[in-house]
Copies of this chain bind each other. A is one copy, B any other.
Amino acid sequence: MTESAAITDDEVRQIDAYWRAANYLSVGQIYLLDNPLLREPLEPAHIKPRLLGHWGTSPGLNFCYAHLNRVIRERGVEMITIVGPGHGGPSAVANAWLEGVYSEVYPDVSLDEPGMRRLFRQFSFPGGVPSHVAPETPGSIHEGGELGYSLAHAYGAAFDNPDLVVACVVGDGEAETGPLAASWHSNKFLDPVRDGAVLPILHLNGYKIANPSLLARIPEEELVQLLDGYGYQPFLVAGDEPASMHRKMAAALDQAFTEIAEIQHGAREEGVTGRRRWPMIVLRSPKGWTGPRELDGKPVENSWRSHQVPLGHVRDDPAQLAQLEEWLRSYRPEELFDDTGRPVKELLAAAPEGDRRMSASPHANGGLLLKPLVLPDFRDYRVPVDKPGTTSSEPTRTFGAFLRDVVKANPSNFRIMGPDETESNRLGAVFEVTDRVFRGELLPTDEHQGTSGQVMEVLSEHLCQGWLEGYLLTGRHGLFNSYEAFIHIVDSMFNQHAKWLKVTRDLPWRAPIASLNYLLSSHVWRQDHNGFTHQDPGFLDVVMNKKPEIVRVYLPPDANTLLSVGDHCLRSRDHVNVIVAGKQPALNWLSMDAAIAHCTRGVGIWEWASTDGGADPDVVLACAGDIPTLETLAAVDMIRRLFPDLRVRVVNVVDLMRLQPDTEHPNGMPDREYDALFTTDKPVIFAFHGYPYLIHRLTYRRAGHPHLHVRGYKEEGTTTTPFDMVMLNDLDRYHLVMDVIDRVPSLGGRVAHIRQRMADQRLAARAYTRLHGEDAPEVRDWTWPY
């Protein structure tokens, strides 16, 4: 980029002053306990005892922020910034304070000297604010923790936000991650008509924690090829001399925003349909720019040594203390802040006004903009069930019809993400009313692909999750459908989002947002085309480690219960809801009314299947999940024939959280309620969808726990038939009957021959499968006969 004449010398001075102020505030946060305006010479007592924080990325971030503010002011653009570099906390906080927003949100951190002292002191300080951009940071929808998701978040924020520009600073460390490397391609999913724009700013400051960064060390020609290949038009801004850099950056941003305006105008006003190359900025500036040049003869500025705290011994080394003071004074704070410590007028004027301030944007506090979904009555999509367990439906297909009408009723407020599995998961009805959006080349033979659409499919769970998070955090709604096993790909992203939600609950100024809804199908028990690698129900275990206030897990056993649960999840706020549901034809157990009642309770006795007359069972057969429910009911059928006098109770669990004590989880059951369902002293055979330990973990405090025996997935599987899968894991109906025999003392040794018959029937079933390649008809065609 050459220097542009677009900005005047006065503007350069103004931007530079703003930048110096933000830099000063960033350094102050890392070091200072007191003497925030350097009104007296710096002393060790003014320095924090533990120096924690990250300087390296802050000056570059401040530089971007100052320049984006100019663009907002000049063009009236509505903009938010995603701070990709993990340790950009000092910068984001500094800018929010300079814009006055920090003091509006946290009045005790006022826009004056006492406020500045608090601002400095609280940073990375016990009881204060974290060193990353975080939920506590006004203007942020992106946690600076685990790296890789900034650009996906940015695109998620831009979808269905036609007037918004999302500037996204991508650190060159983050740029090495897989999710980020894939995220560049998000431009093939952005519709310039209905979506806003994303302006990526790849910030090459050259170093990570202890290493050069990859993209900073390839030839510029190669870098440009790469970004061209990703479909962008990169504008390069490189250097370290501030005045010249200000001019280059201003020129680059002017060109980029002009391009954005042209692309949008072309698409919106002139009907241009082809994909255009969106602009982006490559900013090459020194790490720790304007910080100490060197220490002990080694470079600090423009080196990984400026990553964290460049001068680490300020408190006990007078030379370092002097160096820090010189560094701070180099920003000339006396020109930047008035006698009260308030930023001088010129600085305040450099910031946009009102909601146009990026730190005040309602898009970065999406709950403020949240509109409830327009939801059709889910009961209208029910399957008729006159008698339990006699007819079949594909639950996700049933739910798909409901989703179709949700899509239709919320054309710019609801999206479905999935890694190429929406059709495979049998939600294909949505394609009656929308397309998969894709801006690559479309062919006449393509089906349900369009340049616009509410379904987003890309074979990257990371992108699906990242886009959806960005979409939700800016105040919209959505659903992520995926294969159960592969949702582990985003374990860590789920963790970070759940942590974000946990923190926001303690921040009254953050308005609640729509829940993150997972619909996991193609689950562990029905991987007919696939094998062992596709069999993993452990995402539930990951989810259960997060705060009970945030997480919910639902295992609807059939089509109508899925409808009820799905409707509930789409209405909820600030949760992560995980729904596991089958896509294969499966028996319908409950009518719509029964399903609603059952899902409302979350767990309940299925009296129509039980023989205990509502009291005092000899044994409880419990189940959670569609396949475990099927096997349990088939076992109950056999038990009723084999032991007509045995008092059997069937309990089905839809809401897994109900199993916990109410002291542990808001959905949990008090002991008396749990005991009434499961008894305190009778054997409970629990057939569970996932790893059996999870049920023990939820129930170990219950009085009846010593009598609880759980069957579930025990990591046995391959490509085989559905019934062979349950046999491999001892979850099959025959084995459940054997478990009952083994655990109900009153049956005792008298029934050894029946137990043997069950074992023989298992062997016969397996032999049949191995011979014929399909399950035996008596298994396959079983229905509930009562």
How many Å lie between the Cα of A436 and that of B212 in the bound state? 11
Cβ of A50 within 8 Å of any chain B Cβ, yes or no, is yes
Cβ of A680 within 8 Å of any chain B Cβ, yes or no, is no
By the criterion CB–CB under 8 Å, are A458 and B214 in contact? yes
From B48, B131, B492, A530 is in contact (CB under 8 Å) with: B131
By the criterion CB–CB under 8 Å, are A210 and B532 in contact? no
Q: Which of A755-773 contact B (CB under 8 A)?
A: 766, 769-770, 772-773
- Kindly provide the distance from the CB of A295 to the nearest chain B CB, expressed in whole angstroms: 13
By the criterion CB–CB under 8 Å, are A773 and B538 in contact? no
Cβ of A499 within 8 Å of any chain B Cβ, yes or no, is yes
Q: Which of A201-236 contact B (CB under 8 A)?
A: 208-214, 216-219, 222-231
Cβ of A267 within 8 Å of any chain B Cβ, yes or no, is no
By the criterion CB–CB under 8 Å, are B131 and A529 in contact? yes
How many Å lie between the Cα of A420 and that of B223 in the bound state? 21
By the criterion CB–CB under 8 Å, are B423 and A209 in contact? yes
Residue among A173, A227, A229 with max Cβ neighbours from chain B (10 Å): A229
Q: Which of A104-155 contact B (CB under 8 A)?
A: 124-132, 134, 143-148
A491 — which chain B residues lie within 8 A by C-beta? 488-489, 491-492, 542
Which residue in chain B gives the minimum CB-CB distance to A486? B146
Which residue in chain B gives the minimum CB-CB distance to A231? B222
- Kindly provide the distance from the CB of A190 to the nearest chain B CB, expressed in whole angstroms: 13
By the criterion CB–CB under 8 Å, are A772 and B49 in contact? yes
- Kindly provide the distance from the CB of A201 to the nearest chain B CB, expressed in whole angstroms: 18
- Kindly provide the distance from the CB of A12 to the nearest chain B CB, expressed in whole angstroms: 31
By the criterion CB–CB under 8 Å, are B176 and A178 in contact? no
Which residue in chain B gives the minimum CB-CB distance to A136? B718
Q: Which of A283-306 contact B (CB under 8 A)?
A: 299, 303
A127 — which chain B residues lie within 8 A by C-beta? 720, 769-770
By the criterion CB–CB under 8 Å, are A545 and B534 in contact? no
By the criterion CB–CB under 8 Å, are B223 and A773 in contact? no
Cβ of A177 within 8 Å of any chain B Cβ, yes or no, is yes
A700 — which chain B residues lie within 8 A by C-beta? 696, 700, 705
- Kindly provide the distance from the CB of A538 to the nearest chain B CB, expressed in whole angstroms: 5
- Kindly provide the distance from the CB of A366 to the nearest chain B CB, expressed in whole angstroms: 19
By the criterion CB–CB under 8 Å, are A222 and B211 in contact? no
How many Å lie between the Cα of A134 and that of B436 in the bound state? 32
How many Å lie between the Cα of A333 and that of B176 in the bound state? 49
A719 — which chain B residues lie within 8 A by C-beta? 52, 124-125, 128-132
- Kindly provide the distance from the CB of A35 to the nearest chain B CB, expressed in whole angstroms: 15
From B176, B441, B495, A182 is in contact (CB under 8 Å) with: B176
Cβ of A260 within 8 Å of any chain B Cβ, yes or no, is no
A52 — which chain B residues lie within 8 A by C-beta? 528-529, 719
- Interface range on chain A (Cβ under 8 Å from partner): 35 or more
- Kindly provide the distance from the CB of A370 to the nearest chain B CB, expressed in whole angstroms: 24
Cβ of A424 within 8 Å of any chain B Cβ, yes or no, is yes
Known contacts A211-B436, A531-B131, A718-B130; A176 and B145 CB within 8 A of each other: no
By the criterion CB–CB under 8 Å, are A492 and B495 in contact? no
A147 — which chain B residues lie within 8 A by C-beta? 459
| Stretch in contact with the other chain, from A351-359, A443-451, A507-515, A734-742 | A443-451
By the criterion CB–CB under 8 Å, are B211 and A173 in contact? no
How many Å lie between the Cα of A538 and that of B499 in the bound state? 13
Q: Annotate A747-786 by CB proximity to B: 1 below 8 A, 0 otherwise.
A: 0000000000000000000100110111000000000000
Cβ of A691 within 8 Å of any chain B Cβ, yes or no, is yes
By the criterion CB–CB under 8 Å, are B126 and A769 in contact? yes
Cβ of A338 within 8 Å of any chain B Cβ, yes or no, is no
A502 — which chain B residues lie within 8 A by C-beta? 715
- Kindly provide the distance from the CB of A487 to the nearest chain B CB, expressed in whole angstroms: 8
By the criterion CB–CB under 8 Å, are A125 and B773 in contact? yes
From B422, B445, B459, B528, A176 is in contact (CB under 8 Å) with: B459
A422 — which chain B residues lie within 8 A by C-beta? 210
Which residue in chain B gives the minimum CB-CB distance to A173? B459
Cβ of A33 within 8 Å of any chain B Cβ, yes or no, is yes
From B131, B143, B460, B697, A177 is in contact (CB under 8 Å) with: B460
How many Å lie between the Cα of A52 and that of B132 in the bound state? 49
- Kindly provide the distance from the CB of A550 to the nearest chain B CB, expressed in whole angstroms: 9
How many Å lie between the Cα of A544 and that of B502 in the bound state? 26
How many Å lie between the Cα of A213 and that of B420 in the bound state? 10
A533 — which chain B residues lie within 8 A by C-beta? 132, 134, 143-146, 496, 499
Cβ of A162 within 8 Å of any chain B Cβ, yes or no, is no
A54 — which chain B residues lie within 8 A by C-beta? 529
What are 14 A-to-B residue pairs whose CB atoms are below 8 Å?
A: A33-B773, A50-B528, A130-B718, A145-B530, A146-B489, A146-B533, A185-B214, A210-B422, A211-B438, A216-B440, A225-B226, A227-B229, A229-B230, A495-B538
The 6 closest A-B pairs by CB, nearest first: A145-B533, A226-B229, A217-B440, A178-B178, A130-B531, A225-B229
